[in-house]
Chain A
Amino acid sequence: MSPTVFFVAIVSAMLINNVVLMRFLGVCPFLGVSKKSETAIGMSAAVMFVMVVGSILTYLLYYFVLEPFEITYISTIAFILIIASLVQLVEMFIKKASKKLYKALGIYLPLIVTNCAILGIAETNIREGYAAEYGVGQGMLVATSSAFGAALGFALVIFAFSTIRERLEAADVPTAWKGIPISLVVAGIMALAFLGLEGIV
């Protein structure tokens, strides 16, 4: 297996199948914490950690526990529990490490649990059938790199979006469009731009 597989997995998860703009995962934090670029960076760092570690753990759980015991139908419950406990860990860590970031992320930190991007990537890793294609061991590496790429894509889009929104604050927008409506239209235009990247890989 050549290293290009990982590169392709990262690029396609980051740009072509962007989590927010193409797969509609994690739209709530995308709109919620993108008012300032500082919080956007903090959020995407937390999401990156939970997404990568979470997808490794869920992958291992699926192929070494759920599948041998033939209880794959409870995968949703098992995955969400793993993610919830990981988020608890990250929350405790950030609370200790940076009070300021903890305050800024506020309600969105426990809400990473209900960030569908993380559960979505964990589910996609299983559904894409990396294990069948590359074997369980190497499949895990591919799954991890696609999770990493997805997290990078999330960070890229949420950061770009937050800088646009900082400028929108100063723009003269009709009152009915102020806030979320105009942001959604901006997101739509960003999605149009990302359509142009389709077919690179």
Chain B
Amino acid sequence: MAKKKKDAGKLSVFTKGLIQQNPIFVFLLGLCPALAVTSSLETGVGMGILVIFVLTASNIVVSLFKNFIPEEIKIPAYIVIIATFVTIVDLGTEAISPPLYDSLGIFIPLIVANCLIMGRATSFASQNNVGRSALDGLGMSLGFGLAMALIGATREFLATGELAYGVYLPLGFEGSIIGLEAAPFSMEVFVGPAGGFIVIGVWLAIFNAIGQHRQHRRKIARDRWIEKKKQQAAERKRRKAMEGGSA
């Protein structure tokens, strides 16, 4: 039974982070960067890419060293591991993509303090083997990146009427995905801090509503099923009683 569970788990370890246990929308982890660097799609995606690297790498290393690290100094040890990868990312970004480095600014070193990474290290990587930890890190950080992209796209579109305007990420293309030239209708408040809070709040409410709707439908279906079984049982009982009566 244990083996079966493990086999079924391989894929779900990876996919659970994407939607079911999305770090931002379900666990509310890593909200600081989710608010601070999502004023446009490209900064959101850029941050997502950096976190994918750091979380996957730190999960692998933490799970490699899990048997050597004493329980009492667990947290400082994990922090040093995470900080090492963050420093690599910090220097790497500065070298490869200076515009991204400038626009993310202080939030690159602050990946160290992202509760998502620490949370995965303590709750998953320290109890699982290397492969599963790597998959978990990849899935969780991809979920984080997706959420960042969603928030960034919403905010950028509401604020400017455009998406990915003047992309500078090394994605190979420049120009906008959507350019409505909607300057008269742009709401600049969504670039600012207030817009960030409100956009995340609204998305959370939307996801809550969808979840509740699904739960409600499942409950109705289950109730109907129970009702049907009850009716069948009653029917059988009646038939039995009739047969008994005739005999």
**Interface SS of B by simple majority:** helix
A-B contact count (CB 8 A): 132
**Is the Cβ of B106 less than 8 Å from the Cβ of A124?**
yes
Q: In the complex, which residue of chain A has the Cβ closest to the Cβ of B76?
A: A84
Which A residues lie within 8 Å of B79 (CB)?
80-81, 84, 113
Q: In the complex, which residue of chain B has the Cβ closest to the Cβ of A173?
A: B205
Stretch at the interface among A21-29, A42-50, A61-69: A21-29
- In the docked arrangement, what's the CA distance between A120 and B108, Å? 10
**Is the Cβ of A115 less than 8 Å from the Cβ of B113?**
yes
Candidates B76, B106, B202, B204; contact of A120 at CB < 8 Å? B106
Which A residues lie within 8 Å of B118 (CB)?
113-114
- In the docked arrangement, what's the CA distance between A184 and B197, Å? 5
A116 at the interface (CB under 8 A from B): yes
What's the least CB distance linking A59 to chain B, in Å? Answer: 15
- In the docked arrangement, what's the CA distance between A127 and B194, Å? 25
Q: In the complex, which residue of chain B has the Cβ closest to the Cβ of A184?
A: B201
Candidates B28, B29, B113; contact of A180 at CB < 8 Å? B28
**Is the Cβ of A181 less than 8 Å from the Cβ of B204?**
yes
Interface-centre pick from B91, B196, B205 (highest chain A CB count, 10 A):
B205
**Is the Cβ of A116 less than 8 Å from the Cβ of B201?**
no
**Is the Cβ of B115 less than 8 Å from the Cβ of A28?**
yes
B221 at the interface (CB under 8 A from A): no
**Is the Cβ of A181 less than 8 Å from the Cβ of B86?**
no
A191 at the interface (CB under 8 A from B): yes
Which B residues lie within 8 Å of A13 (CB)?
none
B220 at the interface (CB under 8 A from A): no
Which A residues lie within 8 Å of B110 (CB)?
25, 116, 119-120, 123
- In the docked arrangement, what's the CA distance between A29 and B28, Å? 11
Interface residues of A in 113-160 (CB under 8 A from B): 113-116, 118-120, 123-124, 127
Binding site for B on A (CB under 8 A): 21-28, 31, 73-77, 80-81, 84-85, 110-111, 113-116, 118-120, 123-124, 127, 175-178, 180-185, 187-189, 191-192, 194-195
Q: 23 pairs across A/B with beta carbons < 8 Å?
A: A24-B35, A24-B36, A24-B193, A28-B28, A76-B86, A76-B109, A84-B76, A116-B114, A120-B110, A123-B110, A175-B212, A180-B201, A181-B204, A181-B208, A182-B201, A184-B204, A185-B202, A188-B196, A188-B197, A191-B193, A192-B189, A192-B194, A195-B192
